[in-house]
């Protein structure tokens, strides 16, 4: 039996999340647009995360995306409207058998290309950072990150 409590793990998890955000701000700043203005080809972090939610997790309504990203529905709606305007997303009305108020979101080719290009840029920056580690550190980090991903991919449910 372990002397480690859920509270201790939660404290480390919160610290990890904070450090990931801070690390991202330091190392990934050149990949993202700070405010969505200027470079047409650069996404904001919110736009990128929204596209990934749709592409990888099948979240395709404003409500689902606002919940996943901890945004107000109005903030998510504004961001999505800008992405529709830029051609990253298309909207589809609900069918007759569905709730008529729902609007479903789908990535366009341009949206998929933008998400992929951003992902590639992130991969290039982060892989060069991690390539500087010695082999043992890389293996340890790889194994621990895989374990964390496996735990988180369950959606936080107990198994």
Q: Confidence band (pLDDT; 50, 70, 90) for 128?
A: confident
In a domain, 152, yes or no: no
pTM of the model: 0.79
CB neighbour list of residue 45: distance below 8 Å, 6 or more residues apart: 24, 32
Q: What is the CATH number for 106?
A: 1.10.10.10
Our count of domains for the chain comes to 1
In a domain, 115, yes or no: yes
User: The domain containing residue 85 runs over which residues?
Assistant: 28-125
In a domain, 148, yes or no: no
In a domain, 78, yes or no: yes
pLDDT in tens, 20-71: 888 888 877 778 876 656 566 689 889 999 999 999 999 999 999 999 999 9
Average pLDDT of 109-113?
A: 96
Burial class of residue 157, CB neighbours in 10 A (0-12, 13-18, 19+): exposed
In a domain, 18, yes or no: no
In a domain, 66, yes or no: yes
Instruction: State residue 95's pLDDT score.
Output: 74
In a domain, 11, yes or no: no
Average pLDDT of 103-119?
A: 94
Instruction: State residue 157's pLDDT score.
Output: 59
Q: Confidence band (pLDDT; 50, 70, 90) for 107?
A: very high
Average pLDDT of 125-149?
A: 92
């Amino acid at each position: 039996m372990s002397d480690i409590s859920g509270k201790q793990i939660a404290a480390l998890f919160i610290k990890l999340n904070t450090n990931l955000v801070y690390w991202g701000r330091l190392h990934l700043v050149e990949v993202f647009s700070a405010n969505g203005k200027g470079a047409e080809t650069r996404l904001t972090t919110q736009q990128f995360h929204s596209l990934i939610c749709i592409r990888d997790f099948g979240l395709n309504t404003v409500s689902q995306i606002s919940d996943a990203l901890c945004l107000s529905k109005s903030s998510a709606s504004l961001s999505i409207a800008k992405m529709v305007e830029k051609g990253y997303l298309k909207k589809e009305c609900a069918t007759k058998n569905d709730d008529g108020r729902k609007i479903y979101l789908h990535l366009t080719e341009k949206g998929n290309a933008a998400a992929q290009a951003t992902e590639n840029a992130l991969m290039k920056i982060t892989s060069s950072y991690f390539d500087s580690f010695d082999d043992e550190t890389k293996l340890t980090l790889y194994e621990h990150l895989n374990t964390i991903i496996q735990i988180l991919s369950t959606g936080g449910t107990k198994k």
